[in-house]
Amino acid sequence: MRYYILLPDDTNGEENYSTNILGEVSFKTFWADQGFDVFEKMVYTYPNPLDMITIKDETNKEYTAEEFLNKISNLKINRIS
């Protein structure tokens, strides 16, 4: 399952830009992509505006930041790059 992050200025259709791809789940591992770096910076630097972002999966199901973190909490996290 692939996950995407959309910031307030992003529109639908921009999910496949590398900076919008959070990562992908396979083999009990979350393979973090560039969007995950953006997400981490937001969590640590600007935690209050997290409700302004949209996180969704490849089926267009939306998640809050907390729901997304709960989804990947039991997975090993690896960086793609």
| 50-68 burial: b if 16+ Cβ within 10 Å, else e | eeebbbbbeeeeebebeeb
Residues 27-54: pLDDT tens digits? 999 999 999 998 998 888 877 778 888 8
DSSP 8-state secondary structure symbol assigned to residue 58? T
Domain ranges of the chain: 2-79
Collapsing DSSP to helix, strand or coil, 44 comes out as helix
Task: State the average pLDDT over residues 12-29.
Answer: 84
The pTM assigned to this predicted structure is 0.86
Residues 67-81: pLDDT tens digits? 999 999 999 999 865
Report pLDDT for 14. Answer: 60
Report pLDDT for 1. Answer: 94
From the list 28, 42, 46, 35, the residue with the least C-alpha distance to 80 is 35
* Cα–Cα distance for residue pair 73/7, rounded to 1 Å: 22
